[in-house]
Amino acid sequence: MEQQLEKRTGLILPELNDHCLLEITKYLDLFDVVNLAYTCRRLKKFADLFLFKKYTTLKIDKNLIKRGFAWIDKVFACVGPHLVTLDCDLEGMRADHFWPAINAHCTNLNDISINGWRERKQIDFRHFDCFDSVSSLSMLECRLHQKSNFYWTFCNLSFLSLDNSANGNDVKILLSNNNNLYSLAFRTEKIGKAYEIEMRWLRMVPGLQELRIEVCRQDEYGELANAVSLTTLELWCEETNINELLSLLAKKNKLETMELVSVKFDRYTGDIMKQFTTLERLFVNAPELDMYGEDRFILTPLFTWPPNLKQLALVGHVALLENLTAAVRQMKMLEKIDFNQCHCRQSDIPLYNDLKYLCQTLFEAMSGRKKGTVLEVVVPGIRNADDKSSPNCLFDGNGLRLFKSRENFDFLL
């Protein structure tokens, strides 16, 4: 054996220069790199200098959890100082034991996303300082311990998304500790008790600019009306008519993007919508009603749209061709309009199918627009709409692009 060692003429791995090691290690995954770092001091130093720095994002899933706490601690000891984003997919797993490792080694966390966490063992988060730098927190389908103090640890959040992972008291804690919140998203059916204790949540975050609420109930409209700095609003409503709320929002906010789901427009809504002078993107999804019922057709050619709108999408409405041309005629700044998921009256289908007539009608409505601007339109009822062999773009020229479906149609909402 000694003679064989004396005859060795090649280099062993730690003796290779950094350039050669980089070429070799670029094929290794994180687990292999961690193993490599624990083989000797030379490779540990090399990994710290060149390899672990690229792991700014780490996903915690069953592949990592099943290796046990000792291995998890090794991973965070190596990449923890460099981690910025933490993505935790914990659905169906007992996964409370990695939090101490995160607190021990992570010092630069900025973005945390957690899915499916079930806090079975109560952990004392009060002395965790790894979350002090976190500015974005997203919780999806999580169930925390009844006496959990997890939310108490966050004090510098700008973006917060809770889905149904928090109760009213949790929301009160988060908002009171994060007054500089910029974006907030949550579901209110889980947070109903918060309003019984008269929690004025919008007053806790006066600088809030983006708000997304799912299952918004009528008894919360009064608090929503207190918003004064919103630029983006998404509402999934329980009540279909929210004219009063829209009127208050238009007076106090400078909204640029608005998405309304399960909202019904009526003849009074147009007078309110024209007050949104800063609105550029609007998405409206009508309630589930009979597509041929009178309640379903809620737009008239006289409906008034926001004057500076650039993108408009309607879903579930009954759209006559005159609705489309009236909208184009009103909004000179319009760039994209999507009626593809609207319904046609039987008498209007031939008009939509007549491509020559449709283009001519739209050109007439586009008169007066600034030269050089392009209007992209997606319309319902186009024949062969389900025929994948026919091109999606039906017409392109003279400032008009006509599409039969949303495919390759980049709508920002």
What are the tens digits of pLDDT across the range 274-303? 899 999 999 988 776 544 444 454 566 678
Q: 10: pLDDT confidence band, cut at 50, 70 and 90?
A: low
Residue 291, pLDDT score: 43
Closest C-alpha among 24, 50, 47 to residue 34: 47
How many Cα neighbours within 13 Å face the side chain of 334? Answer: 28
Cα–Cα distance measured from residue 271 to residue 126, given in angstroms and rounded to the nearest whole number: 51
- Per-residue confidence band for 63, with pLDDT thresholds at 50, 70 and 90: confident
Q: Model-level pTM?
A: 0.80
Helix-strand-coil percent breakdown of the chain, rounded to 5? 35, 20, 45
Q: How far out from the chain centre does Cα 224 lie?
A: 20
The pLDDT-based confidence of 9 (bands split at 50, 70, 90) is low
The count of residues in the chain is 413
Residue whose tokens read 């169906």:
92
Per-residue model confidence as pLDDT tens digits over 209-250: 999 888 666 666 777 777 888 999 998 876 667 888 888 888
Return mean pLDDT, the chain. Answer: 80
Higher pLDDT, 223 or 407: 223
Three-class secondary structure of residue 259 per DSSP: strand
Q: What number is the average pLDDT over the span 74-103?
A: 86
At 58 the pLDDT is 92
pLDDT tens for residues 168-178?
A: 778 888 888 99
Identify any residues that bridge with 373 across adjacent strands, giving them in sequence order: none
Give yes or no for residue 272 having a pLDDT over 70.
Answer: yes
Residue 411 has pLDDT above 60, yes or no: no
